[in-house]
Amino acid sequence: MEKELENILKIRFVSIFSPLFYIRSEVWSDNRVCRIDFIITDICSGKEFGIECKTVGGKKGRDLGGMITQCAQYSRLTFGGVRIPIFLYPQISSNYLIYSDQQKVLDDGIWHKDRHDSDHNHHGVNSLLAYFNMGEVRPKKSGDYHDFTFNNKVIFKTAKKWGFNEIVGLHSDNYNELIKRINTWEERSRIFKIIKP
């Protein structure tokens, strides 16, 4: 059942993003350790992104941890000789993990209000995921467009430019900063620091 739902999710991803990207599915890393769901190439800029699709709903903590670990592993591998930015689709910020700002006790449990609504540019979970060297594809305006977001910075936006028929597309400065970040993750991350006694 889970596999069928993921296949439906992948079909939906392709239908949404194929007008903007060349899409290759089930791509192996150079060392053949892992196979990512998609590598997509922006038709305009030629920049590549890795996409891992995971279904929403019914996940436990270990499932979420597995999703994050899987994307972190992909981010350390090379595809076609280079590291590429890895994005999870759909997002887990708001879908699974929230930044609880308010709580109310109700008859059937506790209600939590996320600090940011789903259309807000920032989310605490997105910046947390950056520590694991990954981002998210976040729907905006009820799915009218999507932002590829890494550390709360938009890397690619599918919304149309104001007054034009073309999309915003790649944010070059944020993309270049992201490439530096993913290539120096081991140098900066405390996960990889070894302290001598």
Question: Is 92 part of any domain?
Answer: yes
Tally of structural domains, the chain: 1
Please give the pLDDT value at position 112.
41
Q: Which domain holds residue 7?
A: 2-192
Structure tokens at 143: 């799915």
- Assess whether pLDDT exceeds 50 at residue 125: yes
Question: Is 111 part of any domain?
Answer: yes
Question: Is 118 part of any domain?
Answer: yes
Please give the pLDDT value at position 20.
95
C-alpha dihedral sign at 87, 101, 114, 140:
negative
pTM over 0.85: no
Mean pLDDT of 57-81: 84
Hunting for tokens 């994307």 — which residue is that?
71
Burial degree of 38 (CB within 10 A; 0-12, 13-18, 19+): buried
Question: Is 17 part of any domain?
Answer: yes
Mapping DSSP to helix (H, G, I), strand (E, B) and coil, where does residue 189 land? coil
- Assess whether pLDDT exceeds 70 at residue 56: no
Q: Is the peptide bond before 90 cis (omega within 30 degrees of 0)?
A: yes
Question: Is 197 part of any domain?
Answer: no
